[in-house]
Amino acid sequence: MIIVTGGAGFIGSNIVLGLNQRGYDDILVVDNLTNGIKYKNLVDCQITDYLDKKDFLEKLQQGFFRHKTIEAIFHQGACSSTTEWDGRYMMENNYEYTKVLFHYCQDQKIPLIYASSAAVYGADDHFKEELQFEKPLNVYGYSKFQFDQYLRQFQSKLTAQVVGLRYFNVYGPHEEHKGSMASVAYHLNNQLLESDVIRLFEGCDGYGNGEQQRDFVYVGDVVDINLWFLDNPQVSGIYNTGTGRSQTFNDVANAVLNYHQKGSLEYIPFPEHLKGCYQSYTEANLEKLRTSGCEHQFKSVEEGVCLYMEWLNK
């Protein structure tokens, strides 16, 4: 059995589909379906069972799974909202929950591959998996940073594989339920269909209009990286998961416009509430990932957005 927490979410459901494509169907999905629209992400997935995240943690701590063979746990469940400022909720949901899973997996010698985030870097522009470059700008980034820090205490004495993947700006199928936190590509596609006009923020932090740069990574590539680590249980650590190529928001907009062959681009004032807690530039440093032996080649914005537009507009 393989367990995927957050398995009804964006990246989690894509991991389930990736496992299905490999012939895995003995999969337990763990999630919180308070936002019931997420069920749609599981309709085309083959799974054995579903558990609410609270019930799963209780069963785990009660020893329910001790006599079951668990091949690995992909821990994707988290509150991923960068605008959520309830720190108590964020730390309980993202940090404490992950600690329980970590210790259980170490006790039972089960590989754990979990979602970290490029949000740990904040405004630092090195994006290298080292403490000196980690300065989160929001409590979401801090919750991910703090578990990465916690893991580092145990790295020399692990009993089973533990991998933290620092996702950069992921986009692709199954993110509709995320609302305002869905990707730029998703929102621009919707804007274009509604009004034939797509809108980006004006410049900030010294960048021109729409010229802020992010490492946009297609979700299919993220799945491939997760599965590469599943295939290589001898490799542990914290790794960036991005393309290693920074591209502008204008690049995303133009990819959407080129797909539809219509529409125009406008710029709107940069929101006051985002000033000072917004990453205007991200680019994954892939040195550590490459040193691990992973040579996966990532799609460009132009390639990935085209695939995504085909899926969204089919």
Residues identified as active-site: 140, 178
Please say whether the beta carbons of 151 and 112 come within 8 A. Answer: no
Packed helices 301-312 and 184-195: angle between N→C axes, nearest 10 degrees: 50
Question: What is d(CA 18, CA 77) in angstroms, rounded to the nearest whole number?
Answer: 17
Q: Within 10 A of 25 (CB to CB), how many other CB atoms are there?
A: 13
What is the bridge-based pairing of β-strands 197-201 and 264-268? parallel
Question: What is d(CA 48, CA 67) in angstroms, rounded to the nearest whole number?
Answer: 17
Please say whether the beta carbons of 162 and 231 come within 8 A. Answer: no
What is the bridge-based pairing of β-strands 247-248 and 213-214? antiparallel
Question: What is d(CA 62, CA 304) in angstroms, rounded to the nearest whole number?
Answer: 43
Say how many Å lie between the first and final Cα of the chain, rounded.
Answer: 33
Question: What is d(CA 140, CA 181) in angstroms, rounded to the nearest whole number?
Answer: 13
Please say whether the beta carbons of 216 and 248 come within 8 A. Answer: no
